[in-house]
Structure 1
Amino acid sequence: MALNILIVDDSSVMRAIIIKTLRLSQLPLGEVHEATNGQEALKVLDGNWIDLALVDINMPVMTGEEMIDRLRQNPETADLPVIVVSTEGSETRRQVLMEKGAGFVHKPFTPETLRDAIVRTLGGLDEQKAGDGTLQGGYSDL
């Protein structure tokens, strides 16, 4: 099963880093969609099947937390797995996000950290689909 992933971040550089990291992860990737804020992301979700959203918190127009709230209110997206990828990492904020059903990866992250968070969040990936636990390449390849 190939994973369709939505990356939501207002930084084009960060979106590119996440995409490169996903390609190095040996996860079974399908389509990778991008959005620059929560509002754009909701539009992408409207017309595409997405298996996982990787979301920044601080973005213009609609923040990541507002987007998660909207996802949870909609029966069609209420169960969408979300991992917040952010520099903001206060324990209080992380707890609030976890209560909303989101995982958390702190920026900057290693490729292994992101991959492990995805495998943990999706839970159904077996070792064969998720690679052997090692990644090809590293930060120098990003």
Structure 2
Amino acid sequence: MAKILAVDDSASMRGMVAFTLRSAGYEVSEAENGQMALDTASSSKFDLVLADVNMPVMDGISMVRELRTRAEYKGVPILMLTTESNTDKKMEGKAAGATGWLVKPFDPEQLLATVKRVLG
């Protein structure tokens, strides 16, 4: 099953995302900010990254930009899962290399359907 990295500074949100994905059979690792996600992504290869936008240390969009400079993450889907819903922020995420955008609070079925779709 696919390996997914869930990145969010909210422990409860990471827990809900991880629970939803694990219950569908995915292997999930967690990180609480963009920098921790980059460190985790350096030591393990993921098939999908799910990340919040607003986080301390390093925000999600900066993390996406950095991941996209790495050869092993050029084609890996990166979904933003955030409370941010304005068009400018979405365009910034797309320009950085985000594959898609989901708005919190998320619907578990919608999350799983989106994950399944982007993983092919």
**TM-score, scaled relative to structure 1:** 0.78
Q: Does 1:51 align with 2:50?
A: no
Q: Report if aligned partners of 1:71, 1:80 keep a CA contact under 8 Å in 2.
A: no
Unaligned runs of 5+ in 1: 125-142
Q: Which has more helix, going by share of residues? A: 2
Which of 42, 58, 66 pairs up with 2:62?
Answer: 66
What percent identity do the matched residue pairs reach? 39
Moved over 3 A (4+): none
Take 2:6 and 2:98, find their aligned partners in 1: how far apart are those partners? 17
Q: Does 1:84 align with 2:83?
A: no
**TM-score, scaled relative to structure 2:** 0.91
Structure 1 or 2, whichever has the larger Rg, is: 1
- In structure 2, the partner of 1:139 is none
Residue-pair matches, total: 119
The 3-state SS of whatever aligns with 1:18 is: helix
Letter in 2 for 1:119: K
Cα RMSD after superposing both structures: 1.3
Larger RCO, structures 1/2 (Cα 8 Å, 6+ apart):
1
Q: Report if aligned partners of 2:80, 2:98 keep a CA contact under 8 Å in 1.
A: no
Unaligned runs of 5+ in 2: none
